[in-house]
Every structure is written in structure tokens, then in C-alpha cells.
Amino acid sequence: MFGILRPCAAHGCPSLMRAWRAHLCGLCLTLRDGQGHGARLATNYDTLVVSVLAEAQLPSAAPRRTAGPCALRGFRPAEVLDARADGARLAAAVSLVLAAGKLRDHVADGEAAFGTVAARRRLAARWQRGGARMAAGVGFDAAALAATVDRQLDVERSAGPATGLLALTAPTEDAVAAAFAHTAVLAGRPGNAAPLAEAGRFFGRLAHLLDAVEDRAGDEARGAFNPLTATATSPREARRLCEDAAHGLALALEEAEFEDRHLVDALLGTEVRRAVTRAFGAPAASYQRPGWIRKSAAGIATFLTCGVWRPRWSKRAGHGCDERCYFRGGSCCDCCTCDCSCG
């Protein structure tokens, strides 16, 4: 799982966390049902926002079902978004296409381990086809999305000292804008298409920049491409751009009409601001990410069993940041009491 939005149960109110989990688990299971178990590795915290936006505009088109126990839910069943929901299928399609692009990006950057290049290319092609098939089922043009992802690679390869940072984020912005706008089509709300496309551009810019901020040191150590390094963008300027994008995102969402916008505001408002703070601020000392052996064991066991095993270190350690944060992406340790009015 990857992405910039990483809600934590310790600072999110229970009803919002249940709603967020319903979309996260629904996305994971929709990927499984549409492309096989291996596709669950493409689960993306950020693309589930597509599913959230679709439901917020037309809740009646987002059926729920009860899913069986899963290790990442503490070996408990849960209500999840059904794979029949158009929003879940669109989110799954976008996840597969973007994950395929990420695999190709790793190969292009020379980050693929020796002997895995051909396998990564085959997997990227398979996920690309699967994403296109699922996208066609909800009337979305996956070919245009894939072309945008490929354009991102071309822009990076041709980037020079005079290339502007926003020129490097533009393909990502266009891809997210297209996905966000299509949720208005699915919901039968054409008036929402323009503001949601604008919101998608700002969110795509944020996701691209925050990913670059978090990866900058590692990219520089490996000699890999990083948009901030390539454009000599300072941390202060990067943060200014992120905060401007977060503000633009909020303004764009105000122009859209939702039947229930609570989860949208929580994810694209509160959690976006947390993501910016997390990327530019020092992590709290109370959070310790499990070592790679334990992390790998948890992931493999969950992948194989989908809930018949739970590692002992994931047991709750009381209120505050515990392993629940890790299983939701980690590094959430600005935990606080819920400041919303829900129950």
C-alpha cells in the first residue's frame, strides 16, 4: 500500500475511520476480484479517494457488504464497499494503471533488482490490460490515463536545468483530474465535473510533490531522478507549493455538490494537511516502524491468508500511536483527540 493519505485510528473519529476502511478494504477486494490476488499489491491509499468521491455524490450507487476477517483489521470482519460499486471499480482501474506506470518507472530509473526487469515489465503489461478492462466497464478511458503516465516518464527523461517544477507535475495533475472528473459522470452530476477536475489537479500536484519530498534523500543517494533535485527546488519553496495546492484543493471542493461530504473533507482537508506536515516536519520519536523482516512477514501472511493470522506485535498497546498506525501506512504520530462532531 502506498500514498500520502494515511489516516490513523488514534486521531480519527470512529465513524470516519470505519467509512475510510470500507473504501480501503473495498478497493483491495475489488482488485482481487477483478485481477486476481496479486493485484492487491496495487492498493493505493490515494486512489481510494476516487471511490470516496463517487459515493459522496451518489451514496445509493455504493452498496456495502460484510467481508471476512483480515490480519490488517486485527482479524475482524468489516463492512466494505462492494466490488459492484462503480466508484470502487474506477478506483481499482486507476490503481492498476498507475501501479503499472510505477513499475515501468522503476525499470527506467534502473531501480529494478538484477534479474527482475523482464518480470516487472510483464507484470506492468498485465496490470495495464487489467486496468483498461476494468475502466472500460465504467466508461473511463484508461488509454488516455496510460498515455498521461507515459508522458510523465518522457517529461522526466527530457528534464533540464530550465525545466519548471510544475511542468514535471503536470502529467500527474492531468491523470488525477481525469479520474476525479469521471466520478461526476458516474454519479450523474455533470456540474461537478469541472470543480472535481480542478480538485484532481491540485491533489495530483500534492501527491507528486510530497512523494518527491519523502524520496529526495534516497533518490539522491541512488542517483535516481527526483523532480525537486532536478529543478533545484528548496524545501521552503516545495512546502509553499504544497500549501498553495492544499488551499486550491479546498477551494475547488467547495464548488462541488455532495450528498455527504464528511469523509471527503476529512481526507482531502484534514489528512492532506497532516500529509504536508508529516513530509516537512520531523517524525515523532514515539513511532517506531517494524523492521523489514516483520514487515515482510506481515505482508506475506496477509496476502496468503487474508486474515487467518495476525502478528503478535500488532496487538493494541493502549491509546496513542501503536502498530495500527503502521498497518495504515505509519508515521501518524501527531495523534490527537478527534475534533469533529461525529460519533
Domain membership of residue 7 (yes or no) is no
Task: Pick the closest to residue 45 from 71, 24, 70 (CA basis).
Answer: 24
Longest dimension (CA), the chain: 54
Domain membership of residue 335 (yes or no) is no
Contact 213, 204 (CB under 8 A): no
Domain membership of residue 277 (yes or no) is yes
- pLDDT score for 122: 93
Domain membership of residue 321 (yes or no) is yes
Domain membership of residue 173 (yes or no) is yes
Domain membership of residue 4 (yes or no) is no
Task: Pick the closest to residue 30 from 78, 81, 76, 83 (CA basis).
Answer: 83
Q: Which residues pair with 64 in a beta bridge?
A: 81
User: Which one-letter DSSP state was computed for residue 266?
Assistant: I
Domain interval for residue 155: 14-327
Please give the full DSSP string across 116-152, using - where no structure is assigned: -HHHHHHHHHHHHHHHHHHHHHTT--HHHHHHHHHHH
CATH code, domain with 43: 1.10.600.10
d(CA 134, CA 136): 5
**What's this model's pTM, rounded to 2 decimal places?**
0.81
- pLDDT score for 246: 97
How many structural domains does the chain have? 1
User: Which one-letter DSSP state was computed for residue 44?
Assistant: B
Q: Which three cell numbers stand for residue 159?
A: 528534464
Task: Pick the closest to residue 274 from 235, 249, 246 (CA basis).
Answer: 246
Domain membership of residue 182 (yes or no) is yes
Domain membership of residue 6 (yes or no) is no
Instruction: Walk along the chain (343 residues) and give the pLDDT tens digit of each residue.
Output: 468 888 876 666 788 888 999 999 999 999 999 999 889 989 988 999 999 999 999 999 999 999 988 887 788 898 999 999 999 999 999 999 999 988 887 787 677 777 788 899 999 999 999 999 999 999 999 888 888 888 988 888 888 778 899 999 999 999 999 999 999 999 999 999 999 999 999 999 999 999 999 999 998 998 888 999 999 999 999 999 999 999 999 999 999 999 999 999 999 999 999 999 999 985 433 333 333 333 344 444 444 444 333 334 333 333 333 333 333 334 444 444 444 444 4
